[in-house]
Structure 1
Amino acid sequence: MVGTTLSEQLNNHIQTMHDQGILDHHFDHVKKLQNEGNPQFVVRVISMFFNDAETGIAQITSFLNSDDVDFAKTINYVHQLKGCSSSIGGQRMALACSELRNACDDRDKQRCLEIFERVKQEYSTLQECFNTISQMERTIANETGGRQP
């Protein structure tokens, strides 16, 4: 984008993610908590989200791949995954987790497996979005010496 600063490109990227329904207002709240005293706040929150989401996805995969699904334990991890995606603004992922929770409540393993594929797809989309945001945030912090532009 010729003629735009990296900060403007970052804001445009975030707006595009909002327009596509990938992110919601919760991400804006996280972004507002970043300041000169904590210039890498967004990057750290995204990193924590990745760690929590990877753990949740691995656990849900394990439960759903077992012959006798423990739906109660699966629901716990689905709930955690929904919470971490929702709190960081991952709107579409959180919605997919809600659908997965409903399938778990119905004890419908096949539907759970189908919806879980969508959860993982939404996670992949969110991961791509957050990797771009993190990279831009790091570059901005390096260019400005940690000061917010």
Structure 2
Amino acid sequence: MEVKSLHLQVQEMRQSLFDEGYLDRQYTQLEALAKDTNPNFIVEVITLYFRDSPDVIASLEHELEREPIEVPMITKCILRLESSSASIGAIKVYKELKKANTFLQAGNIEGTKAALGGIKKQHRELRAKFETYFQLMRHAAGPTEVAVNSS
């Protein structure tokens, strides 16, 4: 009964990521790929995203603090993070990046800096949600290997 309850919790948590607007249909496309190839695919892709994206956010923050401001470098950071966020379906992060890019293209550096706060907030929230979600998934899956006596 507990396993069934855990699986239900996993399903409900997954649905809440969509209902709360953190993810879009791109994430379901990744899940479909995982079913066809590697059951750990989605975890690996999301893990890579959260391994690499903080560096891009840090670069963006650094570029916004430099004098003089180099719009092409800032644009490069935004577009790189936009692309990776869109590819996993991280729609709230993506929308904040679009906002930052709109400010940047309008020459509003202060607006871009303010949007960075939204990017960081949404990224942090999504990361926390995925950490909880993946932990629940692992718990629901139970032990995956049986200990073998090597003697």
Coarse TM-score class (shorter-chain normalised):
0.7 to 0.9
Alignment TM-score, normalising by the size of structure 2: 0.85
Offset at residue 56 of structure 1 (A)? 1.0
Query: Structure 1, residues 21-62: CA drift from partner, whole Å, max 9, x if none?
Result: 111111111122223862211111111111221121011011
User: How many angstroms apart in 2 are the aligned matches of 1:5 and 1:57?
Assistant: 37
Show structure 1 runs of 4+ deviating over 4 A.
Answer: none
User: How many angstroms apart in 1 are the aligned matches of 2:143 and 2:105?
Assistant: 49
**1:118 partner amino acid:** G
- Within a 5 Å distance, the mapping from 1:1-149 to structure 2 comes to 4-35=4-35, 38-143=38-143
Offset at residue 135 of structure 1 (A)? 1.7
Q: Which runs of 5+ in 2 are unaligned?
A: 146-151
Pairwise CA RMSD: 2.0
Q: Percent identical across equivalent pairs?
A: 22
Q: Which runs of 5+ in 1 are unaligned?
A: none
Alignment TM-score, normalising by the size of structure 1: 0.86
Considering only CA atoms, is the larger Rg found in Structure 1 or Structure 2? 2
User: How many angstroms apart in 2 are the aligned matches of 1:8 and 1:71?
Assistant: 47
Partner SS state of residue 107, structure 1: coil
Query: Structure 1, residues 100-148: CA drift from partner, whole Å, max 9, x if none?
Result: 1111112211111111100100101111111122223333445355xxx
User: How many angstroms apart in 2 are the aligned matches of 1:56 and 1:64?
Assistant: 12
Do 2:63 and 2:74's aligned partners in 1 also have CA atoms closer than 8 Å?
Answer: yes
Q: How many pairs does the alignment contain? A: 144
User: How many angstroms apart in 1 are the aligned matches of 2:94 and 2:25?
Assistant: 13
Do 2:3 and 2:140's aligned partners in 1 also have CA atoms closer than 8 Å?
Answer: no
CA distance change for structure 1 residues 36 and 79 in 2, over 3 Å: closer, same or farther? closer
Offset at residue 7 of structure 1 (A)? 2.5
User: How many angstroms apart in 1 are the aligned matches of 2:67 and 2:114?
Assistant: 16
User: How many angstroms apart in 2 are the aligned matches of 1:11 and 1:134?
Assistant: 12
CA distance change for structure 1 residues 106 and 34 in 2, over 3 Å: closer, same or farther? same
